[in-house]
Every structure is written in structure tokens, then in C-alpha cells.
Amino acid sequence: MSRTDPQFNLRIPEVLRDQVMAAAKENGRSATAEILARLELSFLGEASAEELIPAGKAKQMSAIARQSIPATVKKRIVDSVNQAVSMGHASASVDFSDLNLEAIPEEDSSALIDAFSEMLSDAGYEFEWDGPDSVWIGFDAA
């Protein structure tokens, strides 16, 4: 981006600004670069099928997209447990196969499983992962 690029004034809630600043710091970018990367990623699906983005840009955008995976996984775990409880079940199963977590770097996949294993363990649940594709969660041990 150059100084000749047009400026765009934007008001955003303080909480969102803080999230942008934290993400920018974590990714070693300015807040502007973080916002531009995320905005560009949101338009990726609308790009012409004939346009191939450079590999470096693809790597960068993929890393940004991976940041949303933990929130998606957590929401699915919470929703599945809550639904199982409301139905009177003793366990819940959560399927992540549509997220294709095996395609992300193994270190990221392992960190994700470790983080959610810790969350479930700290909350007192029994659980068993079937790779990154699914997890069984038990909460009504006899």
C-alpha cells in the first residue's frame, strides 16, 4: 500500500478496535494492514475464477482464515453439549469433518485439540477425539 492510495475514515466500536489491535500485534502487522488483510479475505470467494492469487498472498490469507477456526470449534462444542443436555442425553458428539482440519498444519491442529481438551478437562467432562474430525463428550458417568 502506498501513500497515494485513497484514505477511508471509519468509526468502529472500541471492542472491535481492540480486537483488531490485538490481532495486528499477534500477526506482526499494523492495524491498517490487519484490516486490509481481513477485508481482502472476505472478498476472496467473489474473485474471478480466472484469477490466481500469488502463493505468498494465499499463505497469508490462509493463516488469517485459520484464526476463526477455534471460535467455530468452541461454538460447536458448546452447542452440542447444550443440545444433548436439553434432550436428556448423557453425551454429545461433535463432527468437524466439514472443516477439513486435517488440511491445516499439523501443529495448528494439535494445538487446537490440546486447547479444547484442556477446556473440556477443566470443566470436568470425559472426552475422546477421533483425530481432528470429531470428539465424543461425556458428562453423565455412572
pTM of the model as a whole = 0.69
Q: What is the pLDDT of residue 62?
A: 84
Rg (CA), the chain: 19
pLDDT tens digits for 80-107?
999 999 999 999 999 999 999 988 888 8
Beta strand 126-130 with 134-138 is antiparallel
Quick one: cell of 135? 470428539
Q: Is 115 helix (H, G, I), strand (E, B) or coil?
A: helix
Helix (H) or strand (E) holding 56: helix 55-66
- So where are the chain's domains? 14-66, 69-138
The fraction of the chain above a pLDDT of 70, given in percent, is: 95
Q: Is 130 helix (H, G, I), strand (E, B) or coil?
A: strand
CA distance 3 to 67: 29
pLDDT tens digits for 101-128?
988 888 889 999 999 999 999 999 999 9
Residue 126, strand partner residues: 138
